[in-house]
Each structure stands twice: as C-alpha cells, then as structure tokens.
C-alpha cells in the first residue's frame, strides 16, 4: 500500500511539472531583459550572427540588425544622448559626401539642440526615437509609462518640425525583451539594433584616429547597420576618411527607409 502511494505521488509530481514549468518558462522568456550583441565573423566582410536568445523572434517582432546583405549597402546611425559639440562637423561631412544617416535622439536632446535637429531633417536625415529618459525599455512593466517614453519624444519632435517622427526606435543601452519589441511594434515601430559598434562613447578616453578607422572599416559588411556615437571627437575627425574609404571599396550608404521588409 505504501509503495502504491509513493508511485502515485511521483506521477502527480511529474504531471505538475509537465503542466506548469513550460508555461512559467514561456512567460518568463517573453519579459526577460536581454542585452544586444552580435557574433562577429572571423571572415572580413561577412555579416555577423545575431544573438541566439532572440534571433528566432527578432524579425517577427519588427527588429533589425541587418539590412540588404545581398549587396554592398551600409546604414549609418548615430546615437544622440546629449550634445558634445561634434554633431555640426558630422553633418558637414555627411553633406559634403551626400550620405544619409539616422540620428536616434532622446527628448532632452530635441529640447536642448533644436537647431541641430532641424538641420538634420532639412539635410535629409532621419531623426528617430531613442526614448525620453534613456531607460531599459524591458524593465518598464507599466504600459502607460512605457508608451509615454515613446510618445513624449514624438510630441517634442512634432512640435519642433511640424511632422510625425519616423517610426524607428533604438533601444537604450541595447536592452530589450520580446515583450517590449512587440509593444514597440504595436506602436508602429521598427526596432533598430546594429551589426557593428565599438567603444567610442567615453569622451575622456577616446580611441586614436588610426584605431577607429581600422576598427570601423574592418567591421563593414554588406547590409551592415553601423552604430557610432556623436559625442565621440574621434568619430567626427575620422568620419570623412571612413566613408570615403568604404565608398572606394564599393559600398553605398542608404537610409533606414530602404531596409528590406
């Protein structure tokens, strides 16, 4: 009798595990905070692999880290958390070389540098959403607070420019979850990650110009979405050389509006 009771108990535990564990795991995976990364190929000029945690659902949730990998196309993007005085030089270079770019801005940047934002738009660049307060969007569980991080930036842009903000979003700090990508998609956004970035944002510890030129050019590949920070003095100095060198290698710079669906 005791043996039968023990067997029944084990069967009950097994049923409970099979019933509840997958449901719990699924719910957890939907909201778990992830950190963006890519696995760079050892072969120069080959696109990297995306993160194993999210590559299966990334496209279905409106996420991009690559563009058209069938041709030598690059998409240049800048993150603008605050103005350090180099964006004007960056815009000068882009205008001279006739290269489009996307600038991902927070609301305080729009408020503090309206003339630069207007110039970006006037010169044909995209000014896109980088949130209001630069939080991890995956950490915001309150839907109203989540939406406000997005809509506050949209409203500031529309008040300044008189048009709706382009629907591209760059996750602050590269933090995301499947749930937050779906929320952004429901708001009409494509979430733009990257297939190249490097440590360029430390304003008091800038890389050398030669290092940056080699790093960026070696990281280029067909369909590459390049992330660099506009607070970098080095980036502002090397940008013309980098763009010209990559163009001489046959690369063409396109807008995020040309991303394949």
Degrees to nearest 5, angle at CA 192 with 191 and 195: 145
* Of residues 207, 229, 199, 240, the one with CA closest to residue 84: 229
The pLDDT of residue 205: 98
The pLDDT of residue 68: 96
The pLDDT of residue 29: 82
User: Could you report the per-residue pLDDT of 17-33, keeping only the tens digit for each?
Assistant: 433 333 333 334 899 99
- Helices vs. strands in the chain: H and E counts, helices first: 8, 10
- Domains along the sequence of the chain with CATH: 40-258 (3.20.20.370)
Catalytic choice (60, 79, 92, 111): 79
The pLDDT of residue 177: 98
Query: Residue 16 corresponds to which tokens in the numbers above?
Result: 């409970």
Give 132's Cβ-side CA count (13 Å radius): 13
pLDDT mean across residues, the chain: 91
147-154 mean pLDDT: 98
Catalytic choice (89, 229, 245, 258): 229
The pLDDT of residue 28: 47
Verdict on whether the full-model pTM lies above 0.75: yes
Is 79 part of the annotated catalytic residue set?
Answer: yes
Q: Reply yes or no on whether the pLDDT at 15 is more than 90.
A: no
Going by pLDDT thresholds of 50, 70 and 90, the confidence category of residue 72 is very high
């Amino acid at each position: 009798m005791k043996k039968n009771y023990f067997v029944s108990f084990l069967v009950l535990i097994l049923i409970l595990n099979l019933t509840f564990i997958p449901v719990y795991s699924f719910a957890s995976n939907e909201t778990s905070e992830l950190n963006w990364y890519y696995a760079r190929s050892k072969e120069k000029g080959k696109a990297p692999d995306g993160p194993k945690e999210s590559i299966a659902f990334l496209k279905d949730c409106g996420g991009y880290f690559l563009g058209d990998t069938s041709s030598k196309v690059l998409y240049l993007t800048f993150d603008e958390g605050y103005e350090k005085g180099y964006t004007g030089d960056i815009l000068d270079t882009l205008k001279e070389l006739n290269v489009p770019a996307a600038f991902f801005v927070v609301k305080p940047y729009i408020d503090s540098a309206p003339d630069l934002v207007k110039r970006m738009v006037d010169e044909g660049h995209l000014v896109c959403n980088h949130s209001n307060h630069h939080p991890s969007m995956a950490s915001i569980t309150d839907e109203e607070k989540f939406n406000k991080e997005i809509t506050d930036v949209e409203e500031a842009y529309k008040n300044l420019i008189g048009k709706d903000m382009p629907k591209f979003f760059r996750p602050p700090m590269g933090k995301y979850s499947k749930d937050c990508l779906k929320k952004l998609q429901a708001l009409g956004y494509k979430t733009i990650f990257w297939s190249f970035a490097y440590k360029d944002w430390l304003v008091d510890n800038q890389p050398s110009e030669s290092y940056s030129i080699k790093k960026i050019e070696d990281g280029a590949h067909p369909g590459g979405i390049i992330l660099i920070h506009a607070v970098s003095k080095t980036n502002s100095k090397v940008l013309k050389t980098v763009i010209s060198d990559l163009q001489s290698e046959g690369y063409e710079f396109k807008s995020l509006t040309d991303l394949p669906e």
